[in-house]
Structure 1
Amino acid sequence: MADLGDRLDHLLGKKAADTLVEAFDITTVEDLLRHYPNRYASQGQPLTEGDPPDGAHITIVGDIVKSDLVKMRNRPGHMLKVVLAADKQQVDATFFNGMKVRHNIKVGRRAMFSGTVKYFREKWGLNHPGYLILPEDRESDDIVAMDRVRGGGTLAGMARSTQDPGQGVDMSIFDRPLLPVYPATSKLESWDIMRCVRQVLDQLDPVDDPLPQGVRGEHSLIGLDEALRAIHFPDTQDEIDRAKDRLRFDEATALQLVLAQRRNENSIRNAPPCPPRSDGIAAAFEKLLPFELTDGQNEVAQEISSDLSNAHPMSRLLQGEVGSGKTIVALRAMLQVVDAGFQCALLAPTEVLAAQHYRSLRALLGPLGNAGELDAGEVATKIVALTGSMSTSAKRTALLAAVTGEAGIVIGTHALIQHNVEFFDLGMVVIDEQHRFGVEQRDALRAKAKQGTSPHLLVMTATPIPRTIAMTTLGDLETSTLRELPRGRSPIVTSVVPANAKPAWVDRAWARINEEVAAGRQAYIVCSRIGDEKVSASDKEPQTHSVIDMFEELRHGALAGIEVGLLHGRLPAEEKDGVMRAFTDGDIDVLVCTTVVEVGVDVPNATVMVIIDADRFGVSQLHQLRGRIGRGGHKGLCILVSEANPVGPAFARLQAVSATNDGFELAVLDLRQRREGDVLGAAQSGTDTTLRLLSLLDDLEIISAAQDFARSVIADDPGLARHPGLAAMMKSALDGERLEYLSKT
């Protein structure tokens, strides 16, 4: 007998076990049993006295009474015309690879055919069905002696899956109403996997259930032993559904156990307590603000302030709509930390965004951010920037300010993570656009705090995260959400322009930009590629508009009378910063750019954005881009220009973006289109997702229940020492790389 932890080579033999390892890295009984079928094959309805409906799937047994090779009329080759006498009917079947199957399908032999009914001139038949040649002297029992399986398609595969060396074929497999079809490879077919699963299940001892009876009863879940057997060889659809419900809960629990362990580990670490002060920079900053914070901003700021006052590190996600005011909230939090005598690091994904943060924070703080300068306030701190393209002397100055503690806030890109960057006393890390950074990068920055302490962590994103995704990828973080826009900001109007069908509408877009510029406002034009890419002779020319070509075309054409600037990622850093400064200062009227302006760039005077080849951008990316406009007192207009088919799916996606400004609704749409495969995958850890049954978008109730259960278990038994079954389930439901990724803090 066997249990879940047994190696397969002891049960299946070395050859079969090695094939499973090579194809799917399956080494144990549990690995194999958690390789679930992705669908089920039905044996089809039996033949009745009446004619079956067109499209019905049927399985019939009879004698071959005719088998003729016929030359095809319209193409080379021969087809085999077969007549099978079954019950009181004769059934026609056609094989289009006649020369390959005629040696098996001979008159006088008994056979089983399985296929889909097709009608032609009021007569039905089967086209290229699966078939299995049966012995004439089949015994009454289910084991039929065959020296080898003769047949093709699924029937032959199933027969081979039941055949052991020196034994016959177990025909009882064909009596099952549903047969599992597994993810397979060219070297390991579904029926080979089915044979291995049957072999293992025949030897498997009853499986101990790691879920307490109370939990199973509360959520109407069947036992693990029953679920693992039913998922592979069910008798009804209801059995499949009940098995999947249980196994989905297992996957959700495995994820939540890892995240609960991370929360627990974080809660026992030491962090510098930073209670608010009434006489510090944060209080002075609030008095200087020329506008009132929204109710949402005040509520979130209070949540963060409370976290920062504790002696354990804050771990909080701040998500909010584009333009909802996350930067103000984050700055207020950083000033509270600075007031307590500690430093803050703000990590941005691009140099453009880092420079934008540096300028905007300096502007917001005014004299409060000029410590050491003549115009500094009575209480003040110093803000420095650190990026990879800075000059050596500028870097040296910034590094010195960080290591001596002179700088209270250090803003930078990946350069902050370098080993030569040191802080005097790092108390808080802010990660902007958290999805752009992996866990290792966050940890490298947090590790720069003094030994024995962990800095507070605030991660921000303007890409809304559906609740189920946040619970399963960021479940160790508390989540704060800003939904309302600052007072006085108008919703953005978005229009979709079919460039090929309505070229005049494109001309109208350029005219609208001229009108906005004449009224004293500014515009963006965004392209999907730069245009200086090297194209080999064998490559086709890209069918999209480049930012370089668009810049030249517009400044000499439709926008010739206004100041047009160019910005893309391969410009030198100083030139990028200069262009962005000129646009911010109003010296450039229209910025023709790539997605370097996707996040963080804040030019309140910009009111129009035209996105060229908009179908080449993702849903969330389009929402991010249009968030760059309408940030001042004037309405924003976003024009999505596309040459996609107006009745195709790409154009429909653009229309969905134009129909709503709700980023959370669009985030769900985006994830559905990407099939949520990279939610736990390449975007964070470089591998594909291993969730087999759980949907991170649809299974909110299951995920929520699993989270409650996992947190209660970890609170009582952090290392799962008293719950070895749950520890094993956690490891089996997730692969090793995913566990390693999730367990990093």
Structure 2
Amino acid sequence: MNPFQTPLVYLKGVGQSRAEVLKKELELHTFEDLLRHFPFRYIDRTRFYKVREIREELPYVQVLARIVSKEVIGEKQSRRLVVKAKDDTGIIELVWFKGINWIEKTIIPGKVYILFGKPGFFNMMPQMAHPEMELYVPGAQKQGNLSLQPVYNSTEKLKQFSLDTKGIQKLTAAMLDQHAKDIRENLPLYIINQFKLLNRADAYRNIHFPGDATLLNEALIRLKFEELFFLQLKLLKNKLLHTQKFKGNVFDKVGHYFNEFYHNKLPFTLTDPQKRVLKEIRQDTQRGIQMNRLLQGDVGSGKTVVALMSMLIAIDNGFQTCIMAPTEILATQHYQTIKSLVGDDFIEVALLTGSTKQKDRKVLHQKLEDGDLKILVGTHALIEDKVQFKNLGFVVIDEQHRFGVEQRSKLWRKNIIPPHILVMTATPIPRTLAMTLYGDLDVSVIDQLPAGRKPIKTVHFFENQRLRMFGFMKQEIALGRQIYVVYPLIQESEKLDLKNLEDGIEAMSREFPLPNYRLSIVHGKMKPADKDFEMQRFIKHETQIMVATTVIEVGVNVPNASVMIIENAERFGLSQLHQLRGRVGRGAEQSYCILMSSHKLSNDGKIRLDTMVKTNNGFEISEIDLQLRGPGNIEGTQQSGVVDLKLANLATDQELLFKVRKCVETIFEKDPQLAHPENQILHHAFEVKNAGLSWDKIS
């Protein structure tokens, strides 16, 4: 039996009650769970501080000092033991409030002690409360705990069972003493040698109890490598299996629809990145394998045109196509964009959403089944069982992270041979995240805006510059432009001192009164019909200012809108600020984004606003967002499950991830079936995975 699958109740020092509380508080069930409960930091006990070097901000210090006095002060509740110790640079005060009698008896004035604890200051003098103490014996072999001491996550409940960081240390040490020899290697020797990795057993020993800082670093590199390696191995193996399992329809010609659109209807010249992506899609759809491609592109970069032209290739080859979007607003925008590009007499385009009337649905369903309808745009309504295609060959999924896996796969099953899939996102994804979230997809990037688009000018105003902002709004409205004003909340919150929509409407109504100015109001709690009515008023230029919540983040396309004002901008994430800014800059005129904030800014808040002012590059912004928030909080990553990395950090371990990815790609190029003797250990990992166990089992 694998010793690491043994329940923790059987580890010496645990017992039934401790096993239960470890399970409940930290989800630690087995020896392996405890071994993979890694320290979150280390206390450096490898050095001694001089008294004069002590600073209050230091987490812990270790000092070698001679006891010069001890005294019990106060009565009853205020009773305390105060001991003074001295080195050649100054005096430190040691204080105890509990166990006073016993401690006072054991401390010997005149002797030198190793003192360890959290430093503070009282009356300008350095101080330690309840320090650890050990008598210093000159010439003795082992003096103090001269190591990097692990610190583990614990809880108040665990501390009641003496399972604070010290208690967890003891259990982990006991298990390693007993079972470190049972930790099996899971990487081929040639990889360990190539990347100069620590062996697995030593890595686990040194992640918990480092011999020194160098060994700790080597242990971290080894275990991070392993974590990223098996993630990439799984993703690339799945990609390989997908190409072997799913055949795809071959689009072997470019015909009338594509050529007519490209030569006679396309109102602008494609950018080089758009041409490159079209070429990549063209190559994919000629291979006889189902395409699975992610198309990343900033707001306004021209993804929809690329999607449409790819769909026209599918239609030229006798297939039907569809686009699925997460919201009715976005689906309607795609429908209107495509209709305006192809015109009324070129090809029929239909829209299917929850609002589509029953009689229109019947006609639409029949045209789909007959094969007459070639382009269908819609929401989740597309995956309903009633929606049947005659020959679906190409599917575009927009903002796909908002759909579940099962929802997406329902679309794939609407044809005997699965349709080619193009996944689009306007949320720029950092390269490291794309390699983990979408590592089994081919990735295309449109990283250039169409010619003639002027970069949006972004400024940051504080509250005392509000009158200047109002004056600028009036100038733009006088030029015939329109303005968005976005608030983070609908109603006032007692917890957050934020401008809210209701106050905003009142302030805007005072500053921009009827009949000279008209406002549209849009928020998430409105009925869809009311929301659409207000949006349509703004689109038709019947109103000049749209006061809204973030409901307009995706899906509103008004080329005449030239100003985006974001209230309490410091409260928004970077990707959300970037998405909101992307609502303007869609016409030929210069557009602006004004970030309003209070003077009280956190360090992260300041970095976010400075980043927005400095750059319009969505990919640069996404990298900074990843560093600030971490991968688990980036939009769309929570449901993926692949960012649950224990040690590796996608923001800081980019170089390691790229090395690992290249290594795995090389392995599959040389040995796609993992059949070579040196890769048997990796082949076994797949068998373990297929048995429903984790990839990186200890044994």
TM class, shorter-length: 0.7 to 0.9
Distance 2:342 2:130 in 1: 76
Distance 1:697 1:317 in 2: 21
Give the equivalent residue in structure 2 for 1:131: 132
Give the equivalent residue in structure 2 for 1:627: 582
Distance 2:522 2:456 in 1: 23
In the TM superposition, residue 119 of structure 1 has moved relative to its aligned partner by: 6.8
User: For the Cα contact (< 8 Å) 2:64–2:87, is it kept in 1?
Assistant: yes
User: For the Cα contact (< 8 Å) 1:66–1:107, is it kept in 2?
Assistant: no
User: For the Cα contact (< 8 Å) 2:295–2:443, is it kept in 1?
Assistant: yes
Pair 1:509-2:472 in alignment? yes
Distance 2:332 2:585 in 1: 21
Q: 1:358-412 deviations in whole A, cap 9, x for unaligned?
A: 1111111113xxxxxxxx34xx3x3222222333334444444434433222212
In the TM superposition, residue 329 of structure 1 has moved relative to its aligned partner by: 0.3
User: For the Cα contact (< 8 Å) 2:554–2:579, is it kept in 1?
Assistant: yes
Q: 1:114-142 deviations in whole A, cap 9, x for unaligned?
A: 225667678x66420333699xxx9x999
Give the equivalent residue in structure 2 for 1:82: 83
Out of 187, 196, 202, the position equivalent to 1:226 is 202
User: Structure 1 stretches of 5 or more lacking a match?
Assistant: 143-171, 368-375, 741-745
3-state DSSP class of the match of 1:694?
Answer: coil
The one-letter code sitting in structure 1 at the alignment partner of 2:655 is E
Distance 2:477 2:578 in 1: 23
Structure 1 pair 706–617 and aligned structure 2 pair: CA distance change class (3 A): same
Distance 1:732 1:54 in 2: 51
User: For the Cα contact (< 8 Å) 2:118–2:131, is it kept in 1?
Assistant: no
3-state DSSP class of the match of 2:511?
Answer: coil
Give the equivalent residue in structure 1 for 2:478: 518
User: Structure 2 stretches of 5 or more lacking a match?
Assistant: none
Out of 651, 655, 658, the position equivalent to 1:701 is 655
Distance 1:86 1:634 in 2: 71
User: For the Cα contact (< 8 Å) 2:436–2:643, is it kept in 1?
Assistant: no
User: For the Cα contact (< 8 Å) 1:210–1:726, is it kept in 2?
Assistant: yes
Give the equivalent residue in structure 2 for 1:529: 489
Give the equivalent residue in structure 2 for 1:335: 312
Give the equivalent residue in structure 2 for 1:393: 359
Give the equivalent residue in structure 1 for 2:193: 217
Give the equivalent residue in structure 2 for 1:162: none
Out of 152, 155, 158, the position equivalent to 1:185 is 155
Q: 1:581-625 deviations in whole A, cap 9, x for unaligned?
A: 443343433333332332243222222222222223221111111
Structure 1 pair 601–637 and aligned structure 2 pair: CA distance change class (3 A): same
- The 5 A counterparts of 1:438-457 are 438-450=404-416, 453-457=417-421
Distance 1:727 1:102 in 2: 61
- The 5 A counterparts of 1:575-614 are 575-614=530-569
The one-letter code sitting in structure 1 at the alignment partner of 2:199 is G
The one-letter code sitting in structure 2 at the alignment partner of 1:54 is I
User: For the Cα contact (< 8 Å) 1:384–1:409, is it kept in 2?
Assistant: yes
Structure 1 pair 552–46 and aligned structure 2 pair: CA distance change class (3 A): closer
Pair 1:36-2:73 in alignment? no
3-state DSSP class of the match of 2:53?
Answer: coil
Distance 1:19 1:528 in 2: 40
Give the equivalent residue in structure 2 for 1:107: 105
Answer with 666-675 or 476-485: which moved more. 666-675
3-state DSSP class of the match of 1:502?
Answer: helix
In the TM superposition, residue 249 of structure 1 has moved relative to its aligned partner by: 0.4
The one-letter code sitting in structure 1 at the alignment partner of 2:172 is V
Give the equivalent residue in structure 2 for 1:474: 438
Distance 2:583 2:537 in 1: 16
User: For the Cα contact (< 8 Å) 1:264–1:718, is it kept in 2?
Assistant: no
Distance 1:25 1:647 in 2: 34
Distance 1:315 1:459 in 2: 8
Pair 1:692-2:658 in alignment? no
Answer with 401-410 or 172-181: which moved more. 172-181
Out of 141, 148, 171, the position equivalent to 1:196 is 171
Structure 1 pair 105–430 and aligned structure 2 pair: CA distance change class (3 A): same
Structure 1 pair 739–44 and aligned structure 2 pair: CA distance change class (3 A): closer
The one-letter code sitting in structure 2 at the alignment partner of 1:492 is I
User: For the Cα contact (< 8 Å) 1:64–1:108, is it kept in 2?
Assistant: no
Give the equivalent residue in structure 2 for 1:495: 459
Answer with 720-729 or 584-593: which moved more. 720-729
Distance 2:367 2:525 in 1: 29
Distance 1:79 1:384 in 2: 81
Distance 1:470 1:117 in 2: 44
In the TM superposition, residue 59 of structure 1 has moved relative to its aligned partner by: 5.1
Structure 1 pair 525–274 and aligned structure 2 pair: CA distance change class (3 A): farther
Q: 1:131-168 deviations in whole A, cap 9, x for unaligned?
A: 3699xxx9x999xxxxxxxxxxxxxxxxxxxxxxxxxx
Give the equivalent residue in structure 1 for 2:23: 21
In the TM superposition, residue 79 of structure 1 has moved relative to its aligned partner by: 2.9
3-state DSSP class of the match of 1:105?
Answer: helix
Structure 1 pair 65–648 and aligned structure 2 pair: CA distance change class (3 A): closer
Answer with 236-245 or 196-205: which moved more. 196-205
Structure 1 pair 559–402 and aligned structure 2 pair: CA distance change class (3 A): farther
Q: 1:655-692 deviations in whole A, cap 9, x for unaligned?
A: 3211111111111121222122335986324x795312
Q: 1:242-300 deviations in whole A, cap 9, x for unaligned?
A: 11111110011121022112201221233442425343322221121121111111111
Tell me the TM-score normalised to structure 1 length.
Answer: 0.81
Out of 238, 241, 244, the position equivalent to 1:265 is 241
Distance 2:496 2:7 in 1: 52
Give the equivalent residue in structure 2 for 1:168: none
Distance 2:410 2:673 in 1: 25
3-state DSSP class of the match of 1:524?
Answer: strand
Give the equivalent residue in structure 2 for 1:359: 336
Distance 1:721 1:439 in 2: 34
Q: 1:4-60 deviations in whole A, cap 9, x for unaligned?
A: 55554454465355544333333444433222222222336569xx86533482256
User: For the Cα contact (< 8 Å) 2:249–2:419, is it kept in 1?
Assistant: no
User: For the Cα contact (< 8 Å) 2:433–2:631, is it kept in 1?
Assistant: no
Structure 1 pair 283–608 and aligned structure 2 pair: CA distance change class (3 A): same
Structure 1 pair 106–519 and aligned structure 2 pair: CA distance change class (3 A): closer
User: For the Cα contact (< 8 Å) 1:58–1:116, is it kept in 2?
Assistant: no
User: For the Cα contact (< 8 Å) 2:392–2:419, is it kept in 1?
Assistant: yes
Q: 1:34-91 deviations in whole A, cap 9, x for unaligned?
A: 22222222336569xx86533482256988974413259xxx733322357999x997
Distance 1:219 1:543 in 2: 52
User: For the Cα contact (< 8 Å) 1:351–1:412, is it kept in 2?
Assistant: yes
Distance 1:650 1:220 in 2: 40
User: For the Cα contact (< 8 Å) 2:430–2:626, is it kept in 1?
Assistant: no
User: For the Cα contact (< 8 Å) 1:67–1:81, is it kept in 2?
Assistant: yes
Pair 1:568-2:531 in alignment? no
3-state DSSP class of the match of 1:639?
Answer: strand
Structure 1 pair 575–183 and aligned structure 2 pair: CA distance change class (3 A): same
Q: 1:711-740 deviations in whole A, cap 9, x for unaligned?
A: 44456355889757447778999xx89989
User: For the Cα contact (< 8 Å) 1:81–1:93, is it kept in 2?
Assistant: yes
The one-letter code sitting in structure 2 at the alignment partner of 1:441 is Q
User: For the Cα contact (< 8 Å) 2:248–2:291, is it kept in 1?
Assistant: no
Give the equivalent residue in structure 2 for 1:414: 380
Pair 1:483-2:455 in alignment? no
Q: 1:392-450 deviations in whole A, cap 9, x for unaligned?
A: 33444444443443322221222323344333332222111233233333223323333
Answer with 580-589 or 277-286: which moved more. 580-589
Give the equivalent residue in structure 2 for 1:69: 73
Distance 1:506 1:401 in 2: 52
Distance 1:101 1:730 in 2: 56
Distance 1:90 1:562 in 2: 72
In the TM superposition, residue 310 of structure 1 has moved relative to its aligned partner by: 2.5
Answer with 196-205 or 658-667: which moved more. 196-205
Distance 1:284 1:102 in 2: 92
In the TM superposition, residue 456 of structure 1 has moved relative to its aligned partner by: 1.2
